[in-house]
Structure 1
Amino acid sequence: MGNMKQMKKVLAVALAVVMALTALVACAPSSASEGGEAKKVLRFATTTEPTSLDPQLGSGTWITNVTGAIFEGLVRRYNGEILPGMAESWEISDDNLTYTFHLRDASWNDDEPITAQDFVDSWNLLIQRATPMAQFTDYFTVDGKANARAVDEKTLEVTLNYPVPFMMEVFAMSATTVVRTDKYEETGDAYYQSVPAAMNGPFLLTEWKANDIMVLEPNPDYWDAEKVNFNRVEIYTVKDDTTQVNMFENGEIDLLTVPDTMYGDFEDKGIMYYEDGSNFYIQFTTDGQTDETAKYLANRDFIEAVSACIDRENFVNSVYGGAYQPTVEFVPGSSTGYNGGKKSDSGVTIGSPFTIKADLVKAQEKLDAALEALGATADTMPTFTLVVSDAAVRQTAAQYIQDVCAQIGIQIEIDTIPSATFWSTLREGYRYDFAMAGSGPDVDDASTFLKVFDGEGLYADTFMRWHSDEYATILADSWVAADDAQRTEDLVAMEEYLLSNGPVIPLYFTQAAWLMADGFTNINRNMTGADLDYVFGDKTA
Structure 2
Amino acid sequence: MKKKLVSFIMLLTAMSMTLAGCGSKKQEPSTNQEGQIKPGNTSSVEQVLRMNLGADPKTLDPQLNSATDGSHIINNTFEGLMREVGGELIPGMAESYEVSEDGLVYTFKLRDAKWSDGEAIKAGDFEFAWKRGANPATASEYIDIFTSANILNAAKIAKGEVDVSELGVKALDEKTLQVTLEQPAPFFLNLTAFPTFMPVREEVVGDEAWAKTPEKALSNGPFKLSEYKMGDKLVLVKNENYWNAENVKLEKVICEMITDFSTAHTKYTAGELDINEFIPVGEIPRLMAEDDEFYVLPKIGTYYYAINMNNELMQDVNVRKALALAIDRTQIVEQVSKGGQIPSTGFMPEGIQDAQGNDFNEKAGDFGMSETADVEKAKALLAEAGYPGGEGFPEIEILYNTNDGHKAIAEAIQEMWKQNLGINVKLTNQEWAVFQDTTNNNAFSHLARRGWIGDYLDPQTMLDIFESNNGQNIGRYNNPEYDKEMQLSRTSTGQERMEHFYKAHEILMEDMPIIPIYYYVANVMVNDRVQGWELNAVGKFWFGDVEIVE
- Alpha-carbon separation, structure 1, partners of 2:121 and 2:354: 35
* In 2: Cα distance, 1:493 partner to 1:260 partner: 39
Q: Secondary structure at the match of 1:76?
A: strand
Aligned pair partner of 1:464 in 438, 458, 475:
475
SS in 2 for 1:277: strand
Query: What SS does structure 2 have at the residue aligned with 1:253?
Result: coil
Paired residues of 1:45 and 1:237 also in contact (CA < 8 A): yes
The answer to whether the aligner puts 1:254 opposite 2:311 as a matched pair is no
Equivalence for 1:59: 66
Instruction: Give the match for residue 535 of structure 1.
Output: 544
Among 143, 156, 159, the alignment partner of 2:177 is 156
> Number of residue pairs matched?
490
* CA drift at 1:96: 1.2
Q: Is the Cα contact below 8 Å between 2:63 and 2:129 reproduced in 1?
A: no
Q: Distance in 2 between matches of 1:482 and 1:338?
A: 9
Written as runs of structure 1 = structure 2, the 5 A alignment for 1:111-130 is 111-128=118-135, 129-130=138-139
In structure 2, the CA distance between the partners of 1:131 and 1:42, relative to structure 1 (3 Å rule), is same
Match of 1:133 in 2: 142
Q: CA deviation at 1:170?
A: 0.7
Q: Does 1:387 align with 2:410?
A: no
Change (3 A) 1:250 1:431: closer
2:317·2:512 contact (CA, 8 Å) conserved in 1? Answer: no
1:351: how far off?
4.8
The DSSP-based 3-state class of the residue aligned with 2:179 is: strand
1:432 corresponding residue in structure 2: 445
Which stretch shows the higher mean deviation, 46-55 or 194-203? 194-203
Q: Give the Å deviation of 1:164.
A: 0.7
- Residue 442 of structure 1 is aligned with which of 430, 442, 455? 455
TM-score by length of 1: 0.86
1:41 match? 48
| Residue 317 of structure 2 is aligned to residue 300 of structure 1 | yes
Report if the CA contact (8 A) 1:312-1:356 is conserved.
yes
Secondary structure, in 3 states, of the residue corresponding to 1:82?
Answer: strand
> Retained in 2: the 8 A contact 1:47–1:239?
yes
Tell me which residue corresponds to 1:199: 219
Distance 1:169 1:179 in 2: 19
Q: Which of 478, 481, 501 pairs up with 2:492? A: 481
* Residues 1:400 and 2:409 are matched in the alignment: no
Report deviation, 1:354.
2.7
Counterpart of 2:84?
77
Distance 1:465 1:117 in 2: 35
Q: How far is the alpha carbon of 1:37 from its aligned partner?
A: 3.6
Contact 1:140 1:161 in 2 (8 A): yes
Query: In 1, are the aligned partners of 2:339 and 2:523 still within 8 Å (CA)?
Result: no
2:501 to 446, 467, 491: 491
Q: Report the alpha carbon displacement of residue 208 of structure 1 after superposing the two structures with TM.
A: 0.8
Aligned: 1:179 with 2:189: no
Question: Equivalents in 2 of 1:245, 1:208: separation in Å?
Answer: 23
Paired with 2:133 and 2:171, the residues of 1 have a C-alpha distance of 17
Query: Do residues 286 (structure 1) and 306 (structure 2) align?
Result: no
Q: 1:371 to 1:36 in 2, by over 3 A?
A: closer
**Structure 1: stretches of 5+ with no match in the other structure:** 1-34, 288-293
Q: Secondary structure at 2:426's aligned position in 1?
A: strand
After TM superposition, give the deviation of residue 275 of structure 1 in Å: 0.3
Output the amino acid matched with 1:510. Y
Measured after TM superposition, the shift of residue 198 of structure 1 is 1.7
Alpha-carbon distance in structure 1 between the residues aligned to 2:358 and 2:327: 32
Sort the Cα spacing of 1:214 and 1:258 in 2 relative to 1 into closer, same or farther, 3 A. closer
Q: How far apart, in 2, do the equivalents of 1:36 and 1:449 lie?
A: 42
1:59-96, Cα deviation, whole Å (9 max, x unpaired): 32211111111111211112211121111111111211
> SS at the partner of 1:466?
coil
- Tell whether 2:342 aligns with 1:333: no
TM-score (norm 2): 0.84
Q: Which moved more, 1:400-409 or 1:433-442?
A: 400-409
Given that residues 260 and 320 in structure 1 are in contact (C-alpha distance below 8 angstroms), is that contact kept between their aligned partners in structure 2?
A: no
- 1:256 and 1:357, CA in 2 relative to 1: closer, same or farther beyond 3 A? same
Structure-to-structure mapping, 1:314-393, within 5 angstroms? 314-321=331-338, 323-340=340-357, 342-343=359-360, 348-371=363-386, 380-393=392-405
Q: Is the 8 A contact 2:304 2:518 kept in 1?
A: yes
Q: Offset of 1:514 from its aligned partner?
A: 2.4
Letter in 2 for 1:107: K
Displacement after TM superposition at 1:519 (Å): 2.9
Residue of structure 2 equivalent to 1:309:
326
Aligned pair in 2 of structure 1 residues 105, 455: CA closer, same or farther (>3 Å)? Answer: farther
Whether contact under 8 Å (1:296, 1:370) holds in the other structure is no
Check conservation: 1:230, 1:537, Cα contact below 8 A.
Answer: yes
- Structure 1 residue 419: deviation in Å? 2.8
Change (3 A) 1:390 1:524: same
- Cα distance, 1:457 vs structure 2: 4.2
CA contact (8 A) 2:489 2:497 kept: yes
SS at match of 1:382: coil
**Structure 1: how far apart are the matches of 2:374 and 2:511?**
20
Mean alpha-carbon deviation: is it higher for 124-133 or for 215-224?
Answer: 124-133
Could you list the per-position Cα deviations for residues 301-330 of structure 1 after superposition, in whole angstroms to 9, with x for gaps in the alignment? 111111222111122222123632112111
For residues 188-220 of structure 1, give each alpha carbon's deviation from its aligned partner in whole angstroms, at most 9, with x where no partner exists: x33334334322111111011122221111111
3-state SS of 2:290 partner: coil
Partners of 2:366 and 2:490 lie apart in 1 by: 22
Q: Which runs of 5+ in 2 are unaligned?
A: 1-41, 158-163
Residues 143-180 of structure 1: per-residue CA shift (max 9 Å, x gap): 42321111111111101010111111111100111112
Give CA-to-partner distance per residue, 1:426-480, whole Å, 9 cap, x none: 22342321112111111122211101111524211xx111222111111122223
Counterparts of 2:377 and 2:468 in 1: how far apart (Å)? Answer: 34
Partners of 1:118 and 1:355 in 2: CA distance: 49
Distance 2:69 2:275 in 1: 15
Distance 1:494 1:323 in 2: 28
How far does residue 36 in structure 1 lie from its aligned partner after superposition? 10
For residue 260 of structure 2, the aligned residue among 231, 236, 240 is 240
For 2:139 and 2:187, how far apart are their aligned partners in 1?
22
